[in-house]
Amino acid sequence: MSILTSKKFQKYFVPGIVFQSCVIAGGYGTGRELVEYFMGYGPVGGCLAMCIVSLLTWSVIAGISFAFAWTFKKFDYKSFMKELMGPGWVAFEVAYIILILIILGVVEASAGSILSELFGLNKWVGIIGMAVAVFLLVINGSEMIEKVLSAWSFVLYGVYILFLILTFINFGKDIGNNFATVPVQGNWAVGGFQYAFYNLAIIAGVLYTVKHSESPKDAGIAGFIAGIIGIVPGIILFVAMCGFYPAIIDQELPVDYILTQMNMPWLRYVFQIVLFGTLIETGSGMIYSITDRIEAAYKNKGNEAPKFTTPVVAFVLLAGTMLLAQVGLSGLIAKGYGTLAWVFLIVYVIPALTLGTYKLMKHKQAK
C-alpha cells in the first residue's frame, strides 16, 4: 500500500500537507513574505518569531479547529464558522474571500515573474499557464487535489532541504556571521503573530481533509502536526536568506536572488519549477475551498449544485485576479496581508480560542 493512501498518513499528515500547500505561495514561496514580516527583526529575531510565535499559533488554532470540525461534522468553512460563532460567520467570509483574492493575485504575479526571470517570457505566459493548470486541477475534485498536493509536498521538502545544504556550503560563513553579529531589532513577536494570523484563515479552507480522522483527538493531533508541516519549509528558506542580509530586504524575488548569487543554473531551474508547481497547489486549494462551500450550501438545502458551478467559479476567480496580479508582489503582500492579519485575529483566532474551546468542552461533558 502506498504511503499516500495509508490510513495513518491520510489521518495525521494529509491535513497538514494540504494546509502547507495552500500556505506556501501566499506565505513564503518567493521569500518576499518572509522578508516583509521577519527579516526586519534581524536573523535571530526572525527565527524566534517563526519558530516560537508563528509555529505555536498555527498548531494550536489548527488543533482546535480540526477537532471542532470533526466533532460537529462541519467540513466547509461556512458551516464551520456558523457553528462556531453564529451570525458572525458573515464577517469571516467577507475577510476570507478578500484574502483568497489577494493570494490568487500573489500566486499569479509570482507565476508571471518566475517564467519571466527563467526564460525571458512575457509575464502573461506564466499567469495564464498557472491559471489553466489550477482550473484543470480544481474541476477534478478534492481527492485529486489531495493526491497531487501530497505528492508534490515530498518534492518540495526535498528541494528545500537541498537548497539549504547548498546555501550553507557556499555561504555558511555569512549565515553564521549574521546570526552572531546582527542584533535582534524591534518586537519580533508582533511580526510572528501578524504573519500567523493572516495565514491562519487558510485552515478554514482545508477542513474537508479532516474527514480522514476517526476521533476529535485524531483531528487535534493532525492540527498540531499541520502547524509544524506548514512552517518548516519557511524556516529553512529564512535561514538560507539570512546569509544575504541586509541586501535581501530590497529584492522582490529573494529566492531567485539567492539562486542567482549561488551561480548554479541547474538548481535555479529546479527550484523555480518546483515553486511554480506550488503556486498551482495554492491556487487550486484556495479555489476549491470556495466551490466546496457552495456545494455544501446546496446540500444543506437538499439540492445538488449545478455541474457548471465549479468551472464557472474557478474561471471567474482566476480571470478576475489577473488584474490584481498587476499590482506586484511587494504591494500585495505589504498592503493586503498586513491589514487582514488583525481582521482574522478578531473574526477567527479569538472565537476559535474562546467559543471553540468552550463548545468542545461542553460537547465532551454532555457526551
The average pLDDT across 296-315 equals 84
Least confident interval from 31-35, 63-67, 116-120, 165-169: 116-120
- Work out the pLDDT band at 251, boundaries 50, 70, 90: confident
Cα end-to-end distance, the chain, whole Å: 36
Whether residue 173 lies inside any domain: the answer is yes
Q: What does the pLDDT look like over 110-164, one tens digit per residue?
A: 788 778 877 887 888 888 888 888 888 888 766 777 777 777 878 888 888 898 8
Higher pLDDT among residues 240 and 105, named by residue: 240
The average pLDDT across 304-317 equals 84
- Are 262 and 55 in contact, with CB atoms under 8 Å apart? no
Q: Which three cell numbers stand for residue 350?
A: 479569538
Say which residues have a Cβ less than 8 Å from residue 205's Cβ, sequence separation at least 6: 22, 77, 96, 100, 285, 286, 288, 289
Least confident interval from 65-69, 256-260, 348-352: 256-260
User: What is the model's pTM?
Assistant: 0.86
- Work out the pLDDT band at 324, boundaries 50, 70, 90: low
Nearest to 235 by CA among 52, 21, 17: 52
Q: What does the pLDDT look like over 253-275, one tens digit per residue?
A: 788 888 888 888 888 888 888 88
The average pLDDT across 10-16 equals 90
Query: For residue 231, what pLDDT is reported?
Result: 92
Share of the chain above pLDDT 90, in %: 37
Q: Judge whether residue 294 has pLDDT over 90.
A: no
Total tally of structural domains belonging to the chain: 1
Query: For residue 117, what pLDDT is reported?
Result: 77
Query: For residue 330, what pLDDT is reported?
Result: 53
Q: Judge whether residue 244 has pLDDT over 80.
A: yes
Query: For residue 160, what pLDDT is reported?
Result: 85
Q: What does the pLDDT look like over 196-238, one tens digit per residue?
A: 998 888 898 889 889 889 999 999 999 999 999 999 989 999 9
Q: Name the one residue in this structure whose C-alpha cell is 491535513.
A: 15
Whether residue 249 lies inside any domain: the answer is yes
Higher pLDDT among residues 331 and 131, named by residue: 131
Whether residue 12 lies inside any domain: the answer is yes
Across the chain, mean pLDDT equals: 86
Query: For residue 31, what pLDDT is reported?
Result: 84
Whether residue 20 lies inside any domain: the answer is yes
Whether residue 195 lies inside any domain: the answer is yes
Higher pLDDT among residues 107 and 20, named by residue: 20
Task: Supply the angle between the helices 309-324 and 265-300 in degrees, to the nearest 10.
Answer: 130
- Are 139 and 314 in contact, with CB atoms under 8 Å apart? yes
Compute how many other C-beta atoms are within 10 angstroms of the C-beta atom of residue 251: 19
Query: For residue 73, what pLDDT is reported?
Result: 94
Q: What does the pLDDT look like over 171-191, one tens digit per residue?
A: 999 999 999 999 999 899 999
Q: Judge whether residue 325 has pLDDT over 70.
A: no
Whether residue 363 lies inside any domain: the answer is no
- Work out the pLDDT band at 331, boundaries 50, 70, 90: low
Whether residue 367 lies inside any domain: the answer is no
Domain span at residue 200 reads 3-354
Question: Taken in order 338, 146, 50, 168, is the CA torsion positive or negative?
Answer: negative
Whether residue 364 lies inside any domain: the answer is no
Cis, peptide link before residue 246, omega less than 30° from 0: yes
Query: For residue 226, what pLDDT is reported?
Result: 95
Which CATH number belongs to the domain containing residue 319 in this structure? Answer: 1.20.1740.10
Q: Judge whether residue 1 has pLDDT over 50.
A: no
